[in-house]
Amino acid sequence: MPTRTATARACSNIALIKYWGNRDEALRLPANPSISFNLRDLHTTTVVVFDPALAADELIIDGLVAASSARTRVGAFLDLIRATAPTGDGSVFARVTSDNNFPMGAGIASSASAFAALGVAATAALGLTNTEAQLSALARRGSGSASRSLPAGFVAWKDECAWSIAAPDHWDLVDVIGVVSTGEKKTGSTEGHALAGTSPLQVARVADAPRRFERCMSAIRTRDFDQLAAVIEQDALMMHGVMMTSDPPLMYWLPASLAIMHEVQSMRARGVPVAFTIDAGPNIHCICDAPVADIVATTIAELAGVARVLRSPVGGGAMLLTTWSAGILPAL
């Protein structure tokens, strides 16, 4: 096999209805349906080179050789792709170079954009043709939330793959992220999902998830901000209720996280269309209508303990940038 390479880019996404817990850990089939939108300005660009001269998979993230745990996870993901490749291509190792355009250590999850971009690049490099649904299902095996970074705009996910429920320009929302900690999180999502079932609240959270999912779908369909605010804050707090009551408990909030949540609710009480959601970390995502994004960003930047503020509008789906095989000129 000649050296084969491809480059792909995918956005990160923010969940409005959260995925927490798996009904099948190995296959990363989620315990409950979720909804997200892609973050246009927070993305990962990944180059994959399948090279017969390599003795093992190599992984470089943001210019640094990745930790062995990340290499193992990426290697296992590449094995899934190699297993579907034509005979002969299935044993070739790859050099993966992945670059995030958002600051390292800002506590912004990169596994969604990373596995979405990696899946698109690696399959293209091997000449495998896949539908968006197949690529979403593949990305899911690397990181559950990565399934939602394949389709464009507002995205839903229930089973094998995610699908787009509205285009990026359907609703001009912005995610204004209050970064309150730049440290490594204590317990990552994968470990956290496995603990979800130890909380007695998880059963109730999962049982009520279809109601929250439908409410969020209808809020997006009708662009009803009040309805969206109510359901996403309740959903995030229910997930953190499960986290805090797991065994061992996961307590992600810092004092500044709570300060932002209070500020968001008081801005909303004053008529500003903004609501919060929180992932598996202390940073707070303030979802707001685009015209108020500046005022939301300025207000939370002034709170004690807020290290920086990032922001992004709704983004498109994952895309292939280039593909090339040694000896074959790339298409212009």
Q: Does 190 bind ligand DP6 (CB under 6 A)?
A: yes
- In this structure, what token pair is assigned to residue 153? 């705009």
Number of residues that bind ligand DP6 (CB under 6 A): 16
Show the CA angle centred on residue 144, arms to residues 63 and 319, nearest 5°.
Answer: 60
Binding to ligand DP6 (CB under 6 A) within 8-47 occurs at 15, 18-20, 28, 34
> Is the CB of 18 or the CB of 82 nearer to ligand DP6?
18
Site string for ligand DP6, 149-188 (x = CB under 6 A): ----------------------------------------
CB of 2 to ligand DP6, least distance (A): 33
> Is the CB of 27 or the CB of 204 nearer to ligand DP6?
27
Binding to ligand DP6 (CB under 6 A) within 196-255 occurs at none
Binding to ligand DP6 (CB under 6 A) within 253-292 occurs at 279-280
What is the rounded (10 degree) CA torsion for 139, 141, 146, 150? 30
* C-alpha distances in Å from residue 44, one per residue of 114, 136, 146, 186, 222: 6, 16, 12, 23, 31
User: Does a cis peptide bond (omega within 30 degrees of 0) precede residue 86?
Assistant: no
> Is the CB of 19 or the CB of 93 nearer to ligand DP6?
19
> Is the CB of 263 or the CB of 279 nearer to ligand DP6?
279
> Is the CB of 3 or the CB of 190 nearer to ligand DP6?
190
CB of 278 to ligand DP6, least distance (A): 8
Q: Does 113 bind ligand DP6 (CB under 6 A)?
A: no
Specify the 3-state DSSP secondary structure of 256: helix
- Find out whether 280 and 185 touch, Cβ atoms under 8 Å: yes
Binding to ligand DP6 (CB under 6 A) within 55-84 occurs at none
- Find out whether 85 and 65 touch, Cβ atoms under 8 Å: no
CB of 168 to ligand DP6, least distance (A): 18
**Partners of residue 50 on adjacent β-strands:** 4, 94
> Is the CB of 20 or the CB of 102 nearer to ligand DP6?
20
Rg (CA), the chain: 20
3-state SS of 147-207?
HHHCCCCEEEECCCCEEEEECHHHCCEEEEEEECCCCCCCCCHHHHHHHHHHCCCHHHHHH
Q: Which of 32, 111, 136, 181 binds ligand DP6 (CB under 6 A)?
A: 111
CB of 3 to ligand DP6, least distance (A): 30
> Is the CB of 154 or the CB of 324 nearer to ligand DP6?
154
Q: Does 144 bind ligand DP6 (CB under 6 A)?
A: yes
Q: Which of 5, 38, 98, 189 binds ligand DP6 (CB under 6 A)?
A: 189
> Is the CB of 12 or the CB of 299 nearer to ligand DP6?
12
* C-alpha distances in Å from residue 67, one per residue of 42, 64, 104, 186, 280: 22, 9, 14, 16, 21
| CB neighbour list of residue 222: distance below 8 Å, 6 or more residues apart | none
Work out the number of other CB atoms within 10 angstroms of the CB of residue 145: 29
Work out the number of other CB atoms within 10 angstroms of the CB of residue 93: 18
Site string for ligand DP6, 291-320 (x = CB under 6 A): ------------------------------
* C-alpha distances in Å from residue 64, one per residue of 44, 55, 112: 15, 19, 19
Contacting positions for ligand DP6 (CB under 6 A): 15, 18-20, 28, 34, 109, 111, 143-145, 189-190, 193, 279-280
